[in-house]
Each structure stands twice: as structure tokens, then as C-alpha cells.
Amino acid sequence: MQFPQSNAIFMSIPSMKWSLKGYEAWERANILIEGGDLMCGVSMETGLPAVGGCLESFGLTMGCYVQRATLDVDRHMLLFALLSWTSAYPTASVNVSYVCSGRDTDSTCPDAMTTVMALSSSMNVSSVDAYHDVQELVVGLTQFILVGKARQFLFMPMLNPRRPQFDLFAWCLLYEWVLGYREVVNFQGDRGNLTVMSAKYPDMTWHTNEAEIPRHIVYFLRAGIAYVTTILAFVASLVLVYTLANRGHIESRNILHFNRIAGFVWVGRPLLFARSVVALTILSTSKAQLVRVAGHFNAMQLPESNALYYMRTVLSSSEACWLVYVLQDILTIFTRDRTQVNAMTVARDCEYAVVDLQLTCHSGTIAIGDYERLVLLVLIVVGSVVLCAGLQWLCTKEKSNAMPSYATSLFLCNGAKTLFRNKDHWTLDQVVYLDMASAVLNGLVIFPWKRTFYVLDIKTWRSFAVDAPPFHLTQKVPNRFRHSFCLTE
């Protein structure tokens, strides 16, 4: 049979319902079934004939209500079960009349069985390893049966070589277990333990409680980060404009301290601290997603470790440096001139909420964030800053009375006084000058007009006018001083 024709025949097989049959020997004996739920025991006074099929096992929604066990069989389940059964019993044949004789089994069962057996005859698949693995687990079903007037408790293990025909149903049950529609629970008692498969769980959807999700703080933090980024981009644009307007007469080394100076002057420590906390939180959080695999399996998927993943990690790590800058800026009060030397556990735990009625189970915890990791990252940052400050203090004890590296002008913020470089290069007649780009970093927006500098100080939100130095065109003064701001009080 050609593949296109076989595929068309396979796709035409309808889904159907089967009764979960018991052992073949039950049909030749006068056996009644009184229950199938291990937690309920005998659930009815008059049992049901075993020929109609087994009674349902324990489940989520049924309680101790008695009903026949059924299987929702589709073409994929049937193909899987027949291939697995044939691999385990290559010389035997399936008893179609027995399989399809259940009380609630659809009439399409015999034709579907015949079709799938014909299609699978040419397939070479081995289930020997899976067969032995399941046997080692000793998974099965429980039934309370009545033989004559004697009640018996029966454990029906999956894949029992003495009951080969029942194994076809066992493979169907295992198929649903693999897809997550059933569970296997180990019950431990005084005289031993049993590993029992549950009834099929219905498809259920739970919606999260919106009140339990801290969305509002996320919106505020996102807005704060966007604000910081926008302001810094604006300042960077101003620095570029002033650099071009003054023909490059700037102190380029001061631009290396863009984040340390412009961040504190234009944005402020609280927002920068919030930005660093967000970055540290991201580094302590794993982006886990619940995804559907191959249309059947549900799995927690972690981000793929590709180049983009590592790039995002590096960017988040660089954002965490804002906390370093904040701590260093605060410590400049004490260090002064010394600053110038430069990520799922599974453990089922059940308890009875109401005996014989409700069992509450906690299957596990999915932790996408690690509080201990966050604390560790913060301690690493704080420890690094304190350690470096201590080492610097030990290395520069004799320079404790040294003056700041640039100037003591009130126009300069604390960070600029200690981080700006090349003071001698920008000093003329004992007056220190500040290039326009560095002035923007320091929060001074300067508009030169004729012989006057009109200044807007972002730090104090005040404007004032300063007379420009009286340089004559014939005077031999380096051009950098003609394009800079004099730090006079």
C-alpha cells in the first residue's frame, strides 16, 4: 500500500469510546464488580457484571460515584497501543471481539481495529524496553469484585504476560498517562503499598487572580526606566551638539564618566537605584513559560541559551552597575580625593481536608525568581565597593589632605569635582575652565551670546549670567579656552 493511500486511510479512522474491559477469564465466570476506587472501597450493594467492563478508578471530580471506566480512543492512541502490543507479543493476535465487546464501546471499534492492524503490519517498532520499565514500576488498577458471595480486592498490574489481551487496554492507559491525562499514585499502608493509575482527568482551565499579580509596581518601574533612558539620551544629544559647535575643544576623558555625572545630575539617585534594582531582579529571575509540545505535552520551557540570551544577560549586568555608581557617589562624602584612583522543585505532599471526601495535594513549586540570588548579587556589589574603597584608603593614607582633582567651584557637583580630569590643561591665569560638553554632564546648559554666558543650572534649577573672559583676538590664548566656561564664583 502506497504512503499517500495509507495516510488517507489512517486519517479517516474516527475517534471512538471504548469500555475498559477486565480480564478475559471474567467473562466465563459469574463475577460482579462493586467498585474501582481504592479510596472508596465497595461503592454499591449490588455489583455490575464484569462483562460490561471495569469500574472507574479514583479521580478529581467523581468522588465515590460509581461509573464504568471508558477510554477516549483516537487513531494515534490506537496505533500506539497496537504497535506496542504487537512488539511485546509478536506471535499472538489481538482478540478483536473481546476488545470491542464492552457495554459502552462504539460500533466502529472492529473496523478501526482491523484497519490499524493492517497499516501497522509493515511497521517495525520495538517496545521491549518500555515494557520492562513499566513492569518494574508495578503500576496497575484496583477492582472490588464479588465472586459468588465472596468479596475480593483485586490488583490488576499493567502489562501482565499472563493476561496478554488486557495489555492492549494497558497500553491505551499508559498513552494517556504519558500525555498527562492520568496520574499514577503510590498508596502506602500498614501491609505494603500499591501503585495505582487514576481515572482520566478532564481538561480544566484556571485563570489567575488579577488581584494577586503585582502589575502596578511593574508599570511604575517600567515608566521610571523609560524616563531615565529618555533623559540620558537627551543629555547625550546635548553633549554631541556642544562638541560639534565647539569644534571638538572638549576634555574627552570626562565623557567616560557620563553615567556617573550625568546620571546623578540629570536623573537623580533614587531613580538610578530603582533601575539597578530592576536589573538585579531580572538577573535573579528565570523566564519560564508553560508551552504545549507536539500538540499534547505541557512543559515548562526555559530561554534558549543562544547569543541573544547571553547578550541580554550582559546588558542586564551592565545595568546593575548603577548600584555601584550610587554607592560610590554616596561614599565620595567620606573618600573625597581617593575616588580619583580608579537564574523547579517537584514534591507531592497530600493531606486529607475531609476524610473520605477530599484530598488536597501540593504537587510542587515553580520558582521563576530566586530571592537568595538577588541578595547575593546585592552583597557582591556592596562588598566590591566597600572592598575597593578600603584598599584605596590603605594605599593613599598619606594623601588624606589632598585637594579634589579638579576644582572647588560651586558650579560643580560632588562627582564632577573628583572625577573630572586634566585640571592643569584647563587652567589659565589660576582660573579653571570647563569645556561645554563636560558642563552639560554637570548640569550646566550654557548659551553664549556676545560677551556673556547665560547658564541654566539643572541641579538648582536656577539661571544666571556670567561675563565671558575678556580675551582679545590678538591675544595668544589656546582655542580651547575660547570655547569653554570659566569657573568663577
489 residues of the chain, pLDDT tens digit each: 455 677 888 888 889 999 999 888 887 777 888 888 888 877 677 788 888 889 989 887 666 777 889 999 999 999 999 999 998 888 889 999 999 988 889 999 999 999 988 888 777 778 888 888 888 999 999 999 888 888 889 999 999 888 899 999 999 999 999 888 899 999 988 888 999 999 998 877 777 777 766 677 778 888 888 998 899 899 999 889 888 888 888 887 888 888 878 888 888 888 888 888 887 777 777 666 666 666 656 666 666 677 877 787 777 777 777 777 777 677 666 655 544 443 355 566 777 666 666 667 766 665 656 667 777 777 877 777 778 777 777 776 655 444 445 556 777 777 777 777 667 778 887 778 888 888 888 888 888 888 888 888 888 888 888 888 877 655 677 878 888 888 776
Model pLDDT, residue 401:
43
Cell of 433: 575652565
- Return the pLDDT at 300: 64
Grid cell listed for 261: 555625572
pLDDT value of residue 261: 81
User: Closest Cα to residue 52, out of 68, 71, 64, 72?
Assistant: 68
Per-residue cell: 130: 518500555
By C-alpha distance, which of 232, 233, 227 is closest to 265? 232
Give Cα separations from 423 to 25, 251, 253, 404, 407 (angstroms): 101, 10, 12, 10, 8
Which residue reads 477510554 in cell numbers?
A: 71
**What are the DSSP E strand ranges found in 294-366?**
297-301, 345-354, 358-365
| pLDDT for 150 | 84
Q: Please name every residue paired with 192 in a beta bridge, in sequence order, or none if there are none.
A: 189
pTM above 0.85, yes or no: no
